[in-house]
Structure 1
């Protein structure tokens, strides 16, 4: 009797599902709209997950090490499957073929369908680990480190015109790149069997004497978009952003550098982690409405598609000649059916009924309501004819605060919005006090000296703070 061979990685299907999101991470910000090499936005590239050689570490905010720590309940799991992924930079130049058969480097080469220009391309690289967890303890971890060495390489691609004649060539040069992957498992004390899994990625490329050349010289020796897929079949990873209460101290004590580990795969799956250089939520997924990758950092599909469609034919030719992925974006937008374009405008993911008090069906499902539970729209309670006009207040530091009160903005450690760093210490006026559907109280405010205050008031678009994020002021507006 023959037995089917056991797959080396039983998580292969799960990794395939998670890799769709991982691909978006890998190419986040790869080429920015308007997708041309000549655009100012594309003069400085490779912002996410860049690991430079040690000689450049610490210069310009770059690092040579990425560290991932996550919590794992091994349960029946006994083997770690890890996949390191990153882009390797290939520097591309353009050469024109002369009549005498020689090639000369040129700033551009025009063809009927594209304009070829020098450009840094990124090619995907992978490093795999399949190793027993028992062999990753501190006394054995060094022996289980995985090293890789990508040698320098040069390739040539002929460029032909519409008649099939060779008119030039593309020369691609890749520099040497060396690295190391070090996994470590540490048993944690407590009533439950939990281990801390640490995986560090090191760029170990030796490039002495070239630091003064700057970041552009370092990039060909760097790892870009560096991220990890980690899997333990039979085990259970704990969420690092929302761990169970008993595991929160261990999660808070974990240390991640340049990495953000989240549970990957479908909701409910907990045997795979994606450690990303950008912040994600657990079980991230691509929107069903997204027609394809647009490669622009913080992309908004509808806006980018409309703006790309508005490019001139010359601009589209340069975009097609800049990079194959940029060409895909232009072709995708040019061939996009109107029905697909309409879907980009937005979608309702779900609805929930608002209950309690005299809530109305037309109240916003995810909005804010007045404390009496009436369900008035949060953006302008005064416009609702059923509002009873009762002034809503909250007591802060012994002071009653309501509409018209003056406050000092003091957002603390919670800092749920990047704008908090700019609003700290600013004076503001309270427009109204509201309570959300979970019973949380919020103060809607406008900031002093904000030139858009009148517009905010007209549209009801305020900034919201919790009572512990403001302090009452005595002075008048």
Structure 2
């Protein structure tokens, strides 16, 4: 399969938690970032911060099978704000400009903020045949040199009055790959990445400074030609024991892409086999555990000042803000009420035909008071005491009965939609969020003409 087809999933893992709602540096949660897939320098000996990530997977394939490994991670890069002591037409080419570092600065309506950005890194090894790394592991060292860059910031007159200072540290690591034959056509692959960046005494004792030399959101994409990977979540019976013996440190390998099982994603986040990006999602929100619709509405509800701060974070935050404001009504509708099965495919749910209440009136139950209850009837909600917050909110609301259902324990549940709910049609079609269930004792039929 083509690597590009699974890049979207891998990128979602790469940028998970990069910035979270409310998408502003002033938020506490955005001061505590880089929480997934951290591989710290080996010299940084702190409990809970690993210096190595290791993955073991099973591969079916003969002598012609060949695999590749793409290790990917983010390297944290600091962005500081410097105010020039004296405005200038150009920055000096060799020496650093004379400036004062400040946490934030306003330049003609533009807000400059100190922040931590990220650089995407990738190390590729292979293709390798398992037999070639059976006796001795393939060892690939790598190094990314540190750098410092100054981005000039000009005022309306064209003078440089400030600079954004981006600094990255030198990082070093080693990638290893080894194979063990379990049977003539089954191999156990072991791949690992280790951070061997040297540290000085001061950095060794300070986690925030060690973080700048760590690998963040580390994960690996494995692909194979003339072979197939084996699911560790649902292995075939003949490999169930071997799958259970695979050792993974800080990684959770799952099948990705097509059903030919030619690719795996070793993720620092627990996923299921064949994860997918929801086709309705308009773009990355950096929080795959949230609901796009909720985050989108929250962004739109932010104040102008909050949006200005969000736009000042970096290019990714600005793109998210601009994309959210560009959504049409149709785009928003696609985010609402999608039902899926466990394989992340759209359900085959067919909503009942819509029509007037008179078209679906039929007697389906009888209340103890002797009054009949039927689909289409209007009722007043009387939740029992001790209910949850939703019961409290819906108390005394007028609703319409959409269905009366009996569960496996022979209990009756009445499904209703609220008369004053703008999304009542969605509830009538069976979608959650606009459809509520109550017992017979919690609803009170009302006569025609009563209520709103």
Whether the TM-score (by the shorter chain) exceeds 0.5 is yes
Match of 2:60 in 1: 73
The answer as to whether partners of 1:115 and 1:322 remain within 8 angstroms in 2 is no
Unaligned ranges ≥5, structure 1: 1-10, 354-361, 363-373, 386-454, 461-477
TM-score normalised by the chain length of structure 2: 0.73
Q: Kindly state the Cα deviation for residue 214 of structure 1 after the two structures are TM-superposed.
A: 2.5
The answer as to whether partners of 1:114 and 1:320 remain within 8 angstroms in 2 is no
Whole-angstrom distance in 1 between the partners of 2:207 and 2:408: 48
**Selected match of 2:412 from 382, 387, 400:** 382
**CA 1:338–1:163: 2 relative to 1, 3 Å:** farther
Structure with more strand by fraction: 2
The answer as to whether partners of 2:66 and 2:227 remain within 8 angstroms in 1 is no
**Selected match of 1:217 from 203, 209, 217:** 209
How do 1:18-417 residues align onto structure 2 when only pairs under 5 Å count?
18-59=6-47, 61-75=48-62, 77-99=64-86, 101=88, 102-111=98-107, 114-134=110-130, 136-141=132-137, 144-162=138-156, 164-189=158-183, 193-210=185-202, 213-266=205-258, 268-296=259-287, 298-348=289-339, 349-351=346-348, 376-377=406-407, 381-383=411-413
The answer as to whether partners of 1:114 and 1:319 remain within 8 angstroms in 2 is no
The answer as to whether partners of 1:51 and 1:226 remain within 8 angstroms in 2 is yes
Match of 1:431 in 2: none
Residue deviations 1:210-251, cap 9 Å, x none? Answer: 356432111110000101111111101011111111110000
Match of 2:428 in 1: none
**CA 1:193–1:107: 2 relative to 1, 3 Å:** same
- What do you get for the CA RMSD once the two structures are aligned? 2.7
Q: Max radius of gyration: which structure?
A: 2
Residue deviations 1:102-150, cap 9 Å, x none? Answer: 3221111224554211111111011011143245434321xx2111011
Whole-angstrom distance in 1 between the partners of 2:307 and 2:159: 23
Whole-angstrom distance in 1 between the partners of 2:240 and 2:16: 30
Whole-angstrom distance in 1 between the partners of 2:188 and 2:313: 44
Structure 1 residues 152-161 or 303-312, which shifts more?
152-161
**CA 1:165–1:67: 2 relative to 1, 3 Å:** same
Q: Kindly state the Cα deviation for residue 297 of structure 1 after the two structures are TM-superposed.
A: 5.3
Runs of 4+ residues over 6 Å off in structure 1: 455-460
**CA 1:138–1:235: 2 relative to 1, 3 Å:** closer
Query: Matched residue pairs, number?
Result: 354
The answer as to whether partners of 2:43 and 2:196 remain within 8 angstroms in 1 is no
Whole-angstrom distance in 1 between the partners of 2:178 and 2:85: 57
TM-score normalised by the chain length of structure 1: 0.69
| SS of match in other structure, 1:75 | strand
Unaligned ranges ≥5, structure 2: 89-97, 340-345, 351-374, 376-403, 416-435, 442-452
Q: Kindly state the Cα deviation for residue 75 of structure 1 after the two structures are TM-superposed.
A: 3.4
